[in-house]
Amino acid sequence: MESEALLSVRELRIAFGGVEVVRGLSFDIRPREVLAIVGESGAGKSLTARALLGMLPRGATTSGTISPDLSAHRGRRISLVPQDALSALSPVHPVGDQLAAAVRSVAGVSRKEARARAVAALDRVGIPDAARRARAYPHEYSGGMRQRAVIAMATVNEPEILVADEPTTALDEEHRDQVLRLLAEQREAVGAALVLVTHDMDVVRGHADRVLVMYAGRVTELGPGDEVLDRPRAPYTAGLLASLPRNAIPGRRRLPALRGTPPAPGTLPPGCAFAPRCPLAAGLCHTAEPEPRQTAGRLVACHRPEELPHPAADLFLQERRPA
Ligand SMILES: Nc1ncnc2c1ncn2[C@@H]1O[C@H](COP(=O)(O)OP(=O)(O)OP(=O)(O)O)[C@@H](O)[C@H]1O
């Protein structure tokens, strides 16, 4: 049985100047789950995450529902793990003061209690000698410690939902895994759900309970993380997986890769938005946009999911470009 949703998004649409970039998106966030939102650049991942936080850019118009609406409780019931640890912290205040201020801004607690919670949050993310370090300024922290401090900041008020938008983009593989592990640990410690926005399928494996694959502002596939990764049912998911760098076998002349690029907003083809890039597209795919429907234990928006072979990488083989 599906566990009850912590938050439900229904028919979310986001547009700029009348051009829709998120086009009728529906999904739930379940208690304590890690939900990864993946897709190529421009799919609408960040805007969806920002909509949850009530942080859409100026000029965006929306329709649909997000319930409960937690935007008024940002920093308490829902919080953002920022991408850039350095700019997320003020250089002119000690780190502990910034965390204590975050506690006091929402919790109505005494100065002393706020301080204690700030130190506890720094301790929980593994800052050594947290009581003393709390008095230091961000520039006195190493890069890794700053990263820990912003995660402490996001979790200090024990939110129900943490939103991390590409938290590891700028990091090498070793640091990427450290940050993902820390995020998972902290999520567990405070009992939050984590919405993890990434364009990197490798981040999903082992880190996400469920994965929402987006293409051109819509759901392409939504289901249990490892099942979707191990046996995708939507050709787009299969293409993303086939294009991972680890499939690049040196010396092989033909490599699996997604050809082309996603359509620019406002220039969608008729039919399925992925059809022009899809090796399986035929007939209806070019005339009617598929609605997500329940297939093999997940939602899939594809007219021909049963045509997708397994494994599917060979569908995407392309001549390697001369170096
Ligand atoms: N402030 C804005 N004004 C106009 N268009 C915008 C604005 N912000 C985003 N968009 C457009 O909305 C679409 C979705 O953007 P979004 O940032 O959500 O994509 P994304 O999937 O997160 O991609 P990326 O990984 O590149 O951030 C893109 O085509 C983008 O150009």
Query: Which of 12, 13, 19, 21 to mutate for ligand 1's pocket (most ligand atoms within 8 Å of CB)?
Result: 21
Nearest residue CA, atom 12 of ligand 1? 21
Domain hosting 141: range is 81-157
Q: According to the model, what pLDDT value does residue 85 have?
A: 76
What is the position in ligand 1's atom list of the atom closest to the CA of 265?
29
Nearest residue CA, atom 29 of ligand 1? 42
> Number of folded domains in the chain?
1
Contacts of 39 (CB under 8 A, 6+ apart): 45, 199, 213, 214, 215, 220, 240
Contacts of 239 (CB under 8 A, 6+ apart): 258, 277, 278, 312, 315, 316
Q: According to the model, what pLDDT value does residue 317 have?
A: 84
What's the gap in Å between 14 CA and the centre of ligand 1? Answer: 10
Residue pair 106/137 in contact by the 8 Å Cβ criterion: no
What's the gap in Å between 200 CA and the centre of ligand 1? Answer: 17
- Pocket around ligand 1: residues whose beta carbon is below 6 Å from it? 16, 21, 39, 41-47, 57, 59, 199, 265
What's the gap in Å between 310 CA and the centre of ligand 1? Answer: 32
Q: According to the model, what pLDDT value does residue 247 have?
A: 63
Residue 235 or residue 316, greater confidence: 235
What's the gap in Å between 44 CA and the centre of ligand 1? Answer: 6
Is the whole model's pTM more than 0.90, yes or no?
yes
Is 148 domain-assigned?
yes
pLDDT for 74-115, tens place per residue?
999 999 998 877 788 999 999 999 999 999 988 679 999 999
Band (248; pLDDT cuts 50, 70, 90): low
> In this prediction, what percent of the chain has a pLDDT beyond 70?
95
Is 143 domain-assigned?
yes
Is 110 domain-assigned?
yes
> In this prediction, what percent of the chain has a pLDDT beyond 90?
76
CA nearest to 30, candidates 71, 62, 1, 61: 1
Give burial (CB, 10 Å; 0-12/13-18/19+) of 213: buried
Q: How many CB atoms lie within 10 A of CB 102?
A: 22
pLDDT for 47-70, tens place per residue?
999 999 999 999 999 999 999 999
CA 267/CA 262 separation, integer angstroms: 10
What's the gap in Å between 225 CA and the centre of ligand 1? Answer: 24
Q: According to the model, what pLDDT value does residue 8 have?
A: 98
Nearest residue CA, atom 16 of ligand 1? 44
- Could you tell me which residues are beta bridge partners of residue 219? 214
Q: According to the model, what pLDDT value does residue 1 have?
A: 42
What does the block give as tokens for 97?
A: 């003061």
What residue has token string 């919405």?
195
What is the position in ligand 1's atom list of the atom closest to the CA of 50?
18
What's the gap in Å between 134 CA and the centre of ligand 1? Answer: 36
What's the gap in Å between 45 CA and the centre of ligand 1? Answer: 8
